Chains A and B, each alone.
Chain A
Amino acid sequence: MSQAKRRSVLTVNGEQHHVLAPAAATLLDVLRTGLGLTGSKCGCNHGVCGACTVLLDGKLARSCLTLAADVGERRVTTIEGIAGDLDFSAVQRALVESGAIQCGFCTPGFVITLTELFARDPHPGRETIRAALSGNLCRCSGYVKIVEAAEHLAGGVR
């Protein structure tokens, strides 16, 4: 099965793409190698690290555990589409301003996860932020600055 290529249409960051990929290809594979959208990272390829996190119809998903064939009509949002027409989204600016980035490998996943959180809850408290980020691993920062960035965006420590 994995050898046979199949055609599908994916809506990524508002644009339709026709892709030809093996039936067992993950969304992450298709984004990175098929569409050249390399912002979503492959850290572990089994759901643990969160570096590949994207939004499907606004909901968080691991693109490494999602088959491209299973995306269907759901709209995919990746880090490349997160700021829309702006240079940076509010979440991205908050991370930059707090110095919450070191090597940056985990950052796309954190940005997506925080974007989903702030869309649901514009003023999350520290515990809500920590719980929301618990599925994203960062090997460099120790998390403190990332949580601080989110707290600043939420309007200070509550």
Chain B
Amino acid sequence: MSVDQGVFRPASVDEAVSVLARLPDARLISGGATLVAMINARLIEPAALVSLAGVDELHGITENPDGGWRIGAMTRHRDVAAERRFTGTLALVQQAASLIANATVRNMGTIGGAIAHADPGLDYPPALVAADAQIEIASGKGRRRLPASEFFVDWYATALQSAELVTAVHLRAASDGVGLYHKLARVSGDYATVSVALTMSSGVAGIATRAAMGACGPTPILLEEANALLSGSPGESELNRAGELLAAAADPVDDVRGSAEYRRLLIPRMLARAFTEARAAIGART
């Protein structure tokens, strides 16, 4: 590992973890798109930086033997947005990445940096919760994995403990079906006002749907009860009821992107639009 006046460049995850354990005030830097903006605004003044750029295992997307995928934490949004192998229900992960900011920021930002930052307006969190992704975390004790729904715990807060880092995101093998990510933003490239991520597949018992709402509370909102209503052979009343449940569970803020009340109105509408589109796409295939 090279160290250069406050910038550590570990060559492995173990080295990175050991620096973090030794220097609790050091900050990891991945794409820097958020971290450097915070330094510029004097919101933080890290004692040292730990750059993950030289840790090979964190870069790139690999297919697991079971057909699932491992996205290394340093994988840029650009590379996920260009990933054509995420088909069927997994297409929503590629779509979410392609709607992040603009081409320049997608060249810089990484999936690990984004989810560790856990801004509720980000595009990955709802997409990864709907896709039932697992987050791989490294610490001095080794590796552990958490479902995305347990990784995001509060406003800008994750299940990461001190001296832990995100090493990868694991996606289960795609099912035949549809994965959709819809983002409503004031202008192209802005953070979401509200977003919806949804997967739908069809089987003997009808359709199976998983939906998560983004940017309407501290963490993505996914309700088993709403998913149950949206599965089987749901009609309009089930769809409406699911929208009401999600809106009731939301805890949106008033900000420049919209009032809390506006966001609550958007939730059932965004859900219905995504659901209807997914159902039409599934219908067209069966």
Contact = CB atoms under 8 A, between A and B. Distances in A.
B48 interface: yes
Contact of B6 (A6, A45, A131, A132): A6
Nearest to B48: A1
A26 B33 CA distance: 12
Nearest to B31: A65
Identify which of B37, B45, B49, B53 gathers the most chain A CB atoms within 10 Å of its CB.
B37
B44 to A, nearest CB: 10
A51 to B, nearest CB: 12
Interface in B48-68: 48-49, 51, 53
A43 interface: no
B5 interface: yes
A62 interface: yes
Contacts of B104: 50, 53, 60-62, 113, 135
B33 A62 contact: yes
A46 interface: yes
A64 B7 contact: no
A138 B37 CA distance: 21
B33 A24 contact: no
A59 interface: yes
Given A6-B4, A6-B6, A134-B188, A67 B49 contact: yes
A1 B45 contact: yes
B6 A65 contact: no
A47 B7 contact: no
A69 interface: yes
Interface of A is mostly: mixed
A66 B102 contact: no
A67 B29 contact: yes
Contacts, number: 91
Given A65-B32, A135-B189, A47 B45 contact: no
Contacts of A45: 37, 40-41
A133 to B, nearest CB: 9
A103 interface: no
A2 interface: yes
A132 B33 CA distance: 19
Contact of A65 (B7, B33, B53): B33
Nearest to B54: A72
22 contacts: A1-B6, A2-B45, A4-B6, A6-B6, A23-B4, A23-B7, A24-B6, A24-B45, A24-B46, A26-B36, A45-B41, A46-B37, A46-B41, A47-B101, A61-B108, A66-B36, A67-B29, A67-B32, A70-B7, A70-B51, A72-B53, A131-B103
Interface of A: 1-2, 4-6, 23-24, 26, 45-47, 50, 53, 59-62, 64-67, 69-70, 72, 113, 131-132, 134-135
